[in-house]
Amino acid sequence: MAKERLVVIGGDAAGMSAASQVRRRKPDMEILAFELGRHTSYAA
Ligand SMILES: Cc1cc2nc3c(=O)[nH]c(=O)nc-3n(C[C@H](O)[C@H](O)[C@H](O)COP(=O)(O)OP(=O)(O)OC[C@H]3O[C@@H](n4cnc5c(N)ncnc54)[C@H](O)[C@@H]3O)c2cc1C
């Protein structure tokens, strides 16, 4: 079966919160985040 992958568009508050949640709940899922700017939200 193909590996599940989460693709996040936007690396600020909402995007990185979603990525963090999925990383905790599904540690094996591949996460790919795209951010238009130079920085992502480091808090989330
Ligand atoms: C003037 C102002 C002051 C604020 N002050 C506060 C405050 O003091 N405290 C507080 O808690 N909240 C504050 N907020 C609210 C807070 O900024 C937002 O609630 C929060 O940033 C929303 O995050 P978000 O991830 O939903 O969206 P955004 O912050 O809009 O993030 C979207 C991200 O997606 C990226 N993006 C967009 N298009 C693409 C694309 N095509 N490909 C890749 N990346 C893309 C953008 O570069 C951006 O990083 C303030 C908002 C404003 C406007």
Q: What is the pTM of this model?
A: 0.82
Q: Is residue 21 part of a domain?
A: yes
Residue 19: its pLDDT value, please?
Answer: 96
Tally of domains within the chain: 1
Residue 38: its pLDDT value, please?
Answer: 96
Range of the domain at 23: 5-34
Which residue among 34, 36, 40, 42 is best mutated to probe the pocket of ligand 1, counting the most ligand atoms within 8 A of its Cβ? Answer: 36
| Ligand 1 close to Cβ of residue 32 (< 6 A) | no
DSSP state, residue 6:
E
The position carrying tokens 């599904």 is 26
| Ligand 1 close to Cβ of residue 11 (< 6 A) | yes
Distance CA 14, CA 18 (A): 6
| pLDDT tens-digit readout, 1-43 | 788 999 999 999 999 999 999 999 999 999 999 999 999 998 8
Distance CA 15, CA 19 (A): 6
Residue 31: its pLDDT value, please?
Answer: 98
Cα of 12 from ligand 1 centre, angstroms: 6
Q: Is residue 13 part of a domain?
A: yes
Q: Is residue 40 part of a domain?
A: no
Residue 27: its pLDDT value, please?
Answer: 96
The position carrying tokens 């990185």 is 16
